[in-house]
Amino acid sequence: MASADARERIIVAAERLIAERGTDVPLRDIAIAAGQRNNSAVQYHFGSRDGLINAVAEYRMADLEQHRLERLADDETAGAPHSVRALVSALVLPMLTVPYENGATHYARFLERIRTHAALSAFANLDRTQRASVRLIITRLDRTLQDLPTALRRRRLRTLPTVLFALLADRERAVQTGGLAPDDPDSATELVDLLTGMLTAPVSATTGAAP
């Protein structure tokens, strides 16, 4: 139990310090912030920096997965169509509440920092059991956006996480500084609007003609 507690404290400390200082933050600093006297505690629990980043990325995934699947199931029960907006809402809205209800303070900024790390960027990640809801949402978005040229549609879907993490991080900073209420409904609606608009934007003549 003590070992499990130490592991969780390291994950929480790493989430905050990586968000504030980047992925190159010294592992020793993370261990100290987690209250670990042994400077090699991170290596003991996670093996390496990449192992730690993977663990932090997965830490809040199960709760997000549950809420996304529940939203998708509710939409199915209600007979709602697989619209772009509904799918974006299922992907995004749990990220505005679930991590913070479970103690997060720097979650979105952590994601912004590691967006190019293999823990998030590798397409193979969608095959993980913990990513079933994201895999389902992306698959349905791909089908719903069939009117777009295939290459353009795939580029927009690959761009989605980059834009999403940046917008979430900006929102999190605004909440932390007191410029935005955590439960502000208008900012949540605007976030979904922006991402839906990005995915469904009209195709220009030059873009549509590109191979």
Q: How far apart are CA 11 and CA 54, in angstroms?
A: 10
For the segment 80-105, the average pLDDT, to the nearest whole number, is 94
**For the chain, what is the mean pLDDT?**
91
Tokens 């990325």 appear where?
A: 57
pLDDT tier, 122 (very low <50, low <70, confident <90, very high otherwise): low
Provide the Cα torsion 132, 89, 123, 14; round to 10°: -90
| More confident position, 175 or 117 | 175
Q: Which of 79-83, 95-99, 112-116 is predicted with the least confidence, judged by mean pLDDT?
A: 79-83
> Band of the pLDDT at 2, cuts 50, 70, 90?
low
pLDDT in the model for residue 81: 80
- Give the domain ranges of the chain: 2-58, 60-201
Buried b / exposed e over 162-186, threshold 16 CB at 10 Å, is eebbebbbbbbeebeeeebeeeeee
2-58 under CATH 3.40.190.10, yes or no: no
* Under 8 Å between Cβ of 111 and 165: yes
SS (H, E, C) the chain: CHHHHHHHHHHHHHHHHHHHHCCCCCHHHHHHHCCCCCCCHHHHHHCCHHHHHHHHHHHCHHHHHHHHHHHHHHHHHCCCCCCHHHHHHHHHHHHHHHHHHCCCCCHHHHHHHCCCCHHHHCHHHHHCHHHHHHHHHHHHHHHHCCCCCHHHHHHHHHHHHHHHHHHHHHHHHHHHCCCCCCCCHHHHHHHHHHHHHHHHCCCCHHHHHCC
Q: Spell out the residues 6+ positions from residue 103 whose beta carbon is closer than 8 angstroms to its own.
A: 12
Is 0.85 surpassed by the pTM of this model? yes
Cα distance between residue 86 and residue 79, in whole Å: 12
